[in-house]
Amino acid sequence: MKKIQNEQTHPNDVPVIFLYDANGQITGKISVNEWKKQKQEAKLLEELEIKLYREAITYYGNNECTKAEDLLTYLIARTDYTHYEYVERLANIYRRQGRLASEKRLLLCARKNVDSLDFSEGIIRRIDKRLTKLEEPGFNTRPLFN
């Protein structure tokens, strides 16, 4: 049997990936290995985010709202208000606790940040609907649902 040997390649022969800005101009280049490493790190962070959200839902279901609020606040800050499911869950906690000013502030921040996304029309409608509900007279005297 013949032994396979890996040939040492010259550093200039390593494949690279070009990075482009929004205008299509090349902003830099990275090696394929570095690109894979960055993808792996992003995947790990995404998995952590999913685990934290599941934990927050568990706390929410067990009526441990302060723990759920802490996790959701972290996730919202981390995703810059762009994941509406986090915002909506935290807004529900605020509504349960009667903290309508906090809910309104959260929804307004989310609306401002989501407005710049391309796929945001449906999310903006949901936020606007929720904000108009908050502005209705007598809304804060209605019984809260658990």
Q: How many domains, the chain?
A: 1
CATH of the domain at 52: 1.25.40.10
Exposure string of 16-54, with b = 16+ CB inside 10 Å and e = fewer, is eeeeeeeeeeeeeeeeeeeeeeeeeeeeeeeeebeebbe
How far apart CA 105 and CA 111 sit, in angstroms, is 10
Residue 36 lies in a domain: no
Instruction: State the residue range of the domain holding 61.
Output: 43-141
pTM of the predicted protein model = 0.69
Residue 22 lies in a domain: no
pLDDT in tens, 73-92: 999 999 888 888 999 999 99
Does position 124 have pLDDT exceeding 90, yes or no? no
